[in-house]
Amino acid sequence: MRRLAALGSLLLALGLLASLPAWIGNSYYVNIASQVLLYAVFALGLNVIVGYAGLVSLGHAGLFGIAAYSGAILITAGYGHFVAIAGALVVTLGVAALFAVLALRGTGLGFVMITVALGQIVWGVAYRWISLTNGDNGVSITSRPAPFGLSLVDANPFYWATLVVFLVAVAAIAIFVASPFGASLRGTRDQPRRMNALGYNVWLIRFLAFLFSGLWSGVAGLLFLYYNQFVSPQTVALTASAEVLLMVISGGTATLLGPIAGALLVVIMKNVASGYIERWNFVLGAIFVAIVIFMPEGLVPGSLRLWRWATRRRRQHPAGPAAMAPVPHGSINGGAQ
Amino acid sequence: MAPRVGRRTFAKRVGAAALAAALPMPAIAEDKPIKIGLLTVKTGPLAQGGIQMEQGTNLFLKHRGHKLAGRKAELVVGDTGGNPAGTKTKAQELIERDHVDFIVGPLAAFELLAISDYVAQHKCPILSLAAAEDMTQRKPNPYFVRASGTSAQAMHPLADYAAKELKYKSVITVTEDFAFGYEQMGGFQRVFEDAGGKLAKKLWPPIVTPDYTPYLAQLSGVDAVVSGFAGSNPLKFMKQYKDQGLTLPIIAGSVAMDDALLKSFGDEAVGTISCSGYTADLDTPSNKKFVEGMVADYGNIPGIYAAGLYMSGMVAEAALEKTGGKTDDKEAFIAAMRGVSLTDTPRGPFHFDHLGNVIGNAFIRRCERKDGKLVNTTIKTYKDVGQFWTFDEKWFLAQPVYSRDYPPLKG
Amino acid sequence: MSALEVSGLQKSFGGLRVTREVNLSVEPGERRLIIGPNGAGKTTLFSLITGELRPDAGSIRLFGREIVRVPSRRRAHLGLARTYQIITLFQRETLLHNVMLSLLGLSGLRWNPFRRFAQQAALIEAGRAALARVGLLDMADRPLSDTSYGERRRVEIAMGLAQNPKVLLLDEPFAGLSIEERRDVQGLLASIPHDVTIVMIEHDMDVALEFAERITVLHFGEVVVEGSRAEVVAHPKTREIYLGE
Amino acid sequence: MNLWLLAANSIAFGGLLFLLSAGFALIFGLMRIPNLTHGSLFMLGAYFGVSLISWGVGFWLAALAGGVGVAVLGGLIERLLLRRLPGAELAQVLVTLGLSFMIADACLMQWGGDPISIETPAALRGASRVAGVAFPTYRLGVIVIAVAFAVVLWAMLERTRLGAMIRAGVDDPMMARAVGIRVPLLFTLVFCLGSGLAGFAGVIGGPILSVYPGLDQDMLPLALVVVILGGSGSLVGAFVGSFVVGVLYNFGQALLPELAYVVLFLPMLVVLVVRPAGLFGRSSP
């Protein structure tokens, strides 16, 4: 019965997502939806390393941006989209491997700081290696790919293509997390020493997870490139790394829906709410602070907790325990060990 | 049953029809307002210029009673956050959701470049003060109009003035390490060297440079220093320069000595010579009205950001008057814009070249203290300055765009 | 051939010589007890044997094979398992998941990113068997955070046993347990077949002495006494260390 | 190129960096909180200074008052928010970044977008000649202030009861609690102190940096680099790190313009990769 309900709501969600352009109306909102999806892929990718490996990266915009830059440069050089995409992902994985080797020298805050430094170096290179990146002017591309002959120029087909990539990402990450390797990864997050003593190669597990995270960051970077048809140093800035990290944390780390909710929150605030609220940056900051106060574990797990608490309370006595829904302590301490 | 029409209603209708027939086209279209999209930056480090852009636009609409060519004018503002991706999204919002008739803004070159192709695809006219040279040169956008000028447009006359009137033989240039800086100094270099001057060094501090001392330590052995800083950097640079006890004269580009920035400067700015396509002290009726309005409404002496948007508004207005208030035919609308020739604007008379870039005055000013306040006083006006200066357009466009390494340093 | 042979083992932290010179030989199937006052270097010795710490000098042989240069995680694959004095389990997971992780550590399946971990029949079966051995089968699906301290101690042992080790190192398995729990664990340890060699650190002399065949007394990082129960108890050095005589 | 000037300025800029990062290091050392509002507190202090000076308050008093104002805010942040999140690093990141968004936007609302210059105090205007080299007098003052603060902070940590408690709290919070130190109060005090230092540094930095939207984002990475190069959380580390960064910054920008963007982050990366705990930090975090 429960499985049936789960299947039903999954199908309903899929149907809603697929038919979104039909009922959302304006192409502007369809584009916003595409952005939510592409940032959700990015956040899901980052969550692999932040949520499941317990390693906080503040340099992932570097990987995202390297994929976008590589794609843009290959396309500008005259290669086809297939070569550009494949090439960009290979380059991204190569750089992710280098990032991982360096960053995994540290754990906890050491890891964070190494990723900050790496991200800043990528930013410096993007800014300064003008012959390759065109400096602060950035690189424009004029076309989007046409898979199976379907043009992605218009908002709707681009949305559907992004949706397909998004669904593949969600499925891949869901399978990954539930797999024996995913269990091993979560083990290295919670008890790295113990895992080592149990026979696991903790370093290699983290390394591979970093590559997997980098791969999805790269895929998101390519979506970003094709969406904007433009990439510039701001794409790889520290603020961009911080932004996607905020998506992951605010939505809820180590959950599948959390990063998606976080991407939705940030993209909507930045792009839609900013049209109505002049001081949207202040409001966004206030929302983050409010999340920490009321749902320190993130929006998705926090809402679930409140929901469970509310329904249990209703089922029990109306005057049940008067205390607030208990906030689990340290439930989102990431890099700590 | 036929609908009853009362006498008074009938009279009104006839009157309205008669009025409509008597007036030119705009009045007919009056029921549907003209929608103007403003792309600007209201949050983050670039907000300084962005807020002034919005002020300039608001003041213009206020002066026109929120009516252009007889049609009601509506402003939709998009905050780009100062980044290219945000600019793209806001441009989509303005074009696809709000269906604006044209866009004014954005502020920075990298913002404009991120949406250039997009607005061209949607045939949306865009009037920006972002100074990227190639937008009206090697990669022109047919829907683009620029009433402020290219990066180098004020630097060419500055170099001319420095070499011929100030008789400087050698200079060091210093400006931020980004395209706007390269283009400014490239333009300066070409004209200065043609006039027999020499660039000893070109220094490029990163945009974020809290302390300029590593660059100040390299400023010696020349007649003057050319500064092309933008945003809040001119303030930091000039102050640190003075504190360091350096005494070489400074000559500056338009935004480095922007009139709106003067209230933030101290004595270190006195004596600095700069060149700009707009100057607050220009004595024209429309500039007087503009400056007084800015002071009254916002308490600010305006600079090129507010003036650029005010003038963009004037260009759009003049074009609308030519098309009879119609914007449906985008090609006709943009052609009308590029054909605009105004005589009384805050920067004096100007018109556009065939690429959509302004041809107008460039003002050489000296910063002075008057009644306790810093002001830029115009000391020379170069008339009808275009983006190609005195160079042949064909030759100019055959050269690479000004960059960090082009023109290369001699010797 | 000894199951575990340690010779000339040394380890210093900064200037502090925690392990001065340890020589130890444990026969296959033996139950060895290591005792010593606080700071004697007992847990450090375990960490050196499992490779979590790198010795400054010395040799460690597992069934004759030199393992001092073998990475810690490989030693698990060679049949060495340990439990921890301070419980290091996976708090958010179920008991079964904990034990399955222990099993997975030695399985090639641990690299598999495609299959469902929760549906690995072989691991589940072995995990349940290990839990059954420590009497926790009925709690298999309970999250670890819902269990008592004594139950966690038993999960620790179950994780050690699940790996089918040849040599099992138990670090204070009775610490913090109630009298009944001690009896349970005691019975559990007694039921471990003798093809598993066990080395145990323990403070509780009553249970420990009953369990051990031979005893090693460690003091200031050195083996001071070694022998049968009676020998060690009678040895003047033991009395000196423990009773300050 | 004037190398003596670069050398002298390495010390002066290092002094300013020390004032900026000492508070960050203290908070990080004791509480293990990466306080990402630090840049915002620096900027806020500077803006407080601007307002106070515009109301006629003298520069030095404005600097102290700016520091106190920010210290109070820091105390509130600790009491109301960070107090709830011990050990939850991700939540700390979220809340401190959220606050930095709020502070940046609030400053934009209150003080507008135009850059504001803080006048150099009259006595320290212009340049002095030191060993034949012209050097801004005010920067000599900054060196003196930085060294004085370093000595005072060091003496406080090493010589006073409060310092002893802080050191105990850094070494072993559980033990400190066990021996009766009121660790929560201690945390609030240290957070106030660290924040106040940032606010004070903002005003002191004003005559050099001026105040503008984005100052926060410009300064936070510098504080990070100093603390990383110096070693996490030790005052001596922050002191040495500041001057190391001062030297790297001045000579790197002047002599290696091609590497201007990575002149700080490349050494930071190398140090982290070689010694993940920083140059002077303890070996395990």
Helices (H), B230-328: 233-243, 285-298, 304-323
Chain B positions touching D218 (Cβ under 8 A) are 208, 210
Q: What is the mean pLDDT of residues B48-77?
A: 94
What was the pLDDT predicted at C182?
87
How far does D66 lie from chain B, in Å, by closest CA?
A: 20
DSSP string, A127-147: HH-HHHH-GGG-EE------G
Confidence class of residue D233 from pLDDT cuts 50, 70 and 90? low
What was the pLDDT predicted at D217?
92
> How is residue D161 written in tokens?
């009861």
Cα separation, A258 vs D234, whole angstroms: 36
Contact (CB<8Å) C52/A196: yes
Q: Does D126 touch chain B if contact means CB atoms closer than 8 Å?
A: yes
Subunits with at least 3 CB pairs below 8 A relative to chain A? Answer: B, C, D
% of chain D at pLDDT higher than 90: 60
Contact (CB<8Å) B231/D257: no
> How is residue D93 written in tokens?
């990141």
Residues 178-207 of D with CB under 8 A from B: 207
Report the CATH fold assignment for D3-274.
Answer: ABC transporter involved in vitamin B12 uptake, BtuC (1.10.3470)
Cα separation, C218 vs C223, whole angstroms: 5
C-alpha distances in Å from residue C30, one per residue of C59, C190, C201, C228:
20, 12, 14, 12
Give the pLDDT confidence of C211-221 residue by residue, as tens digits: 888 999 998 88
Chain A positions touching B44 (Cβ under 8 A) are 281
**Taking the domain B12-150+283-359, which CATH number applies?**
3.40.50.2300
Most confident of C114-123, C177-186, D153-162: C114-123
Degrees (nearest 5) of the Cα angle C61, C66, C70? 110
For residue B302, give the chain D residue with the closest CA: D114
Which of A322-326, D68-72, D118-122 is predicted with the least confidence, judged by mean pLDDT? A322-326
Contact (CB<8Å) A180/C50: no
Helix, strand or coil, per DSSP, at residue C219: strand
Q: Is the pLDDT of residue A321 over 70?
A: no
Read off the amino acid at residue C66: E
Burial grade of A286 (CB within 10 A; 0-12, 13-18, 19 or more): middle
Cβ neighbours of residue A128 closer than 8 Å, sequence gap 6 or more: A135, B177, D258, D260, D261
What was the pLDDT predicted at B21?
46
How far does A110 lie from chain D, in Å, by closest CA?
A: 6
- The residues on A that touch C, with CB distances below 8 Å, are 175-176, 178-184, 186-187, 190-191, 193-202, 212
Residues 293-352 of B with CB under 8 A from D: none
How far does D141 lie from chain A, in Å, by closest CA?
A: 32
Q: What is the mean pLDDT of residues B165-169?
A: 96
The size of chain B, in residues, is: 411
Confidence class of residue D158 from pLDDT cuts 50, 70 and 90? confident
For residue A194, give the chain C residue with the closest CA: C88
Are B62 and A8 in contact, with CB atoms under 8 Å apart? no
Report the CATH fold assignment for B155-282+361-398.
Answer: Rossmann fold (3.40.50)
Chains C and A touch (3+ CB pairs under 8 A): yes
Give the pLDDT confidence of D113-144 residue by residue, as tens digits: 889 999 999 889 888 887 778 899 999 999 99
DSSP C226: E
Contact (CB<8Å) B84/A234: yes
Exposure letters B222-240 (e unless 16+ CB within 10 A, then b): bbbbbbbbbbbbbbbbbbb
Q: Does D114 touch chain A if contact means CB atoms closer than 8 Å?
A: no
Cβ neighbours of residue D76 closer than 8 Å, sequence gap 6 or more: none
Q: Which residue has the tokens 């409404």?
A: B297
CATH superfamily of C1-79+165-245: P-loop containing nucleotide triphosphate hydrolases (3.40.50.300)
Which of A273-287, B261-275, D48-62, D168-182 is predicted with the least confidence, judged by mean pLDDT? D168-182
In whole numbers, what is the pLDDT of chain B averaged over residues? 91
What was the pLDDT predicted at A316?
61
Q: Does D214 touch chain A if contact means CB atoms closer than 8 Å?
A: no
How far does A136 lie from chain B, in Å, by closest CA?
A: 6
- The residues on B that touch A, with CB distances below 8 Å, are 42-44, 78-79, 81, 83-86, 88-90, 92-93, 96-97, 109-110, 113-114, 116-118, 132, 177-179, 206, 403-404
Which of A141-145, B221-225, B269-273 is predicted with the least confidence, judged by mean pLDDT? A141-145
Cα separation, C221 vs B161, whole angstroms: 85
Chain C positions touching A191 (Cβ under 8 A) are 88-90
Residues 75-104 of D with CB under 8 A from B: 104
What was the pLDDT predicted at D87?
82
Q: Name the residue among C132, A281, B90, C211 with its Cα closest to residue D108.
A: A281
Q: Is the pLDDT of residue D71 over 60?
A: yes
Q: Is the pLDDT of residue B24 over 60?
A: no
What was the pLDDT predicted at B324?
92
What was the pLDDT predicted at B8?
45
Chains C and B touch (3+ CB pairs under 8 A): no
Which of B139-153, B321-335, C87-101, D161-175 is predicted with the least confidence, judged by mean pLDDT? D161-175
Are B63 and B48 in contact, with CB atoms under 8 Å apart? no
Of the candidates B81, B83, B89, which has its C-beta nearest A35's C-beta?
B89
What was the pLDDT predicted at B26?
47
Of the candidates A26, A228, A270, which has its C-beta nearest B81's C-beta?
A270
**CATH 3.40.50.2300: which residues of chain B?**
12-150+283-359, 155-282+361-398
Q: Does A122 touch chain D if contact means CB atoms closer than 8 Å?
A: no
Are D11 and D243 in contact, with CB atoms under 8 Å apart? yes
How far does A75 lie from chain D, in Å, by closest CA?
A: 27
Q: Is the pLDDT of residue B106 over 90?
A: yes
- Mutate one of B76, B80, B83 to test the A interface: name it (highest A CB count within 10 A): B83
Cα separation, B369 vs C209, whole angstroms: 96
- Mutate one of C54, C104, C144 to test the A interface: name it (highest A CB count within 10 A): C104
Work out how many CB contacts closer than 8 A connect A with C: 85
For residue C156, give the chain A residue with the closest CA: A194
How far does A177 lie from chain B, in Å, by closest CA?
A: 31
What was the pLDDT predicted at A315?
63
Contact (CB<8Å) A230/B81: no
Burial grade of B21 (CB within 10 A; 0-12, 13-18, 19 or more): exposed
Of the candidates D99, D232, D261, which has its C-beta nearest A128's C-beta?
D261
Cα separation, D122 vs A215, whole angstroms: 58
Identify any residues that bridge with B359 across adjacent strands, giving them in sequence order.
B351
Helix axes B84-92, A202-228, angle to 10 degrees: 40
Q: Is the pLDDT of residue B5 over 60?
A: no
HSE (CB half, 13 Å, CA atoms) of C3? 20
Cβ neighbours of residue C89 closer than 8 Å, sequence gap 6 or more: A191, A194, C98, C144, C152, C155, C156, C159
ipTM of the complex: 0.91
DSSP C148: -
Of the candidates D9, D137, D257, which has its C-beta nearest B204's C-beta?
D257
How far does C242 lie from chain A, in Å, by closest CA?
A: 32
Chain D positions touching B47 (Cβ under 8 A) are 108, 113, 213
Confidence class of residue D283 from pLDDT cuts 50, 70 and 90? very low
Q: Name the residue among B214, B274, B270, B264 with its Cα closest to residue B244.
A: B214
Q: Is the pLDDT of residue C176 over 90?
A: no
Helices (H), chain A: 2-18, 20-24, 27-47, 60-76, 81-103, 108-128, 130-133, 155-178, 180-190, 192-197, 202-228, 238-251, 257-267, 280-294, 299-315
Chain B positions touching A278 (Cβ under 8 A) are 42, 79
Contact (CB<8Å) A284/D101: yes
Which of A108-112, A317-321, D40-44 is predicted with the least confidence, judged by mean pLDDT? A317-321
C-alpha distances in Å from residue B133, one per residue of A275, B180, B303, B401:
30, 9, 21, 7
Chain A positions touching B177 (Cβ under 8 A) are 127-128
Q: Is the pLDDT of residue B158 over 70?
A: yes
Q: What is the mean pLDDT of residues A38-50?
A: 98
Of the candidates C73, C81, C120, which has its C-beta nearest A196's C-beta?
C73
How far does B200 lie from chain D, in Å, by closest CA?
A: 13
Which of A280-289, B333-342, D69-78, D268-277 is predicted with the least confidence, judged by mean pLDDT? D268-277
CA dihedral D101, D105, D108, D111 (to 10 degrees): -90
Which of A285-289, B97-101, D159-163 is predicted with the least confidence, judged by mean pLDDT? D159-163
CB neighbourhood size of D195 (10 A): 32
Chains D and B touch (3+ CB pairs under 8 A): yes
Of the candidates C89, C105, C113, which has its C-beta nearest A182's C-beta?
C113
Q: What is the mean pLDDT of residues A102-111?
A: 89
CB neighbourhood size of D273 (10 A): 17
In whole numbers, what is the pLDDT of chain A averaged over residues? 90
Are B359 and B385 in contact, with CB atoms under 8 Å apart? yes
Are B390 and B401 in contact, with CB atoms under 8 Å apart? no
What was the pLDDT predicted at B411?
67
**Strand bridging mode B373-385 / B358-370:** antiparallel
CB neighbourhood size of B409 (10 A): 12
Q: Does D110 touch chain B if contact means CB atoms closer than 8 Å?
A: no
For residue B47, give the chain D residue with the closest CA: D113
HSE (CB half, 13 Å, CA atoms) of C194? 9
Are B236 and B256 in contact, with CB atoms under 8 Å apart? no
How far does B103 lie from chain D, in Å, by closest CA?
A: 23
> How is residue B139 written in tokens?
């990669």
Q: What is the CA radius of gyration of chain B?
A: 23
What was the pLDDT predicted at A314?
67
Helix, strand or coil, per DSSP, at residue B378: strand
Helix, strand or coil, per DSSP, at residue A96: helix
% of chain B at pLDDT higher than 70: 92
Chain B positions touching A156 (Cβ under 8 A) are none
DSSP C6: E
